[in-house]
Structure 1
Amino acid sequence: MAAHPDHESHLVRKRVLWVVPVMLGKRIARNDRSGEERESWARTILVLFVPWRTPADLKVMGESWTAAYDRQQQHIPPQHRSIIANMNVLNECRDAR
């Protein structure tokens, strides 16, 4: 990629070791709620499971996070949808205690 302005000082490399992203702050919101909590859930799921470089890759200007999730959910692979479902069950169990 010699045409890139930073090609002499930057590189792209595939990680050798797997890493797990850790969300800091409050627990992941629930998707079965309405309003603000569902918006927060949709934003978190898109950030974790949809490839992106800029926020515009996730949602267009003026679009809600829920609408962006509804539009992009078909791009989430089945194995990732299974992980999302497990995350939702974990949240339901925590709330039931």
Structure 2
Amino acid sequence: GPPIPRQDRENILECYHRLMLILFKPWRCIDDLRIKDQSWKDAFETFLPECPSEFKEIMDNMQLQHECRDSRDDYFDS
């Protein structure tokens, strides 16, 4: 499948916020993920304070994996 979006790229940040909500916020229908007319960013920022620390660690580790790949690629490119 497609890679998990990064949290450090502005052009895919909306995708990142949406996917993190889908993966970590309990929901049964799409309306559980965000309020009508609310942006994915605002919904994600509203969710973060109530998000369990274990989930935050997983999100951080997903980003860390991207950064490690960048470092590996930079190393082999030079």
Matched, 1:59 2:34: yes
Q: Which letter does structure 1 place at the counterpart of 2:16? A: W
> Equivalent residue for 1:27?
3
Letter of the structure 2 residue corresponding to residue 40 of structure 1? C
Which fold has the larger relative contact order, with Cα–Cα distance below 8 Å and residues 6 or more apart in sequence?
2
Percent of aligned pairs with the same amino acid:
36
Query: TM-score scaled to structure 1, two decimals?
Result: 0.68
Unaligned runs of 5+ in 1: 1-24
CA distance in 2, matches of 1:53, 1:95: 36
- Partner SS, residue 59 of structure 1: coil
Q: How far apart, CA to CA, are the structure 1 residues paired with 2:53 and 2:19?
A: 18
TM-score normalised to structure 2 length: 0.82
User: What amino acid sits opposite 2:3 in the alignment?
Assistant: R
Q: Which 4+ stretches in 1 moved above 3 angstroms?
A: none
Report which of the two structures shows the higher radius of gyration computed on alpha carbons.
1
The correspondence of residues 43-82 of structure 1 with structure 2, limited to 5 A, is: 43-82=18-57
Which structure is higher in helix share?
2
Q: CA RMSD of the aligned region, Å?
A: 1.2
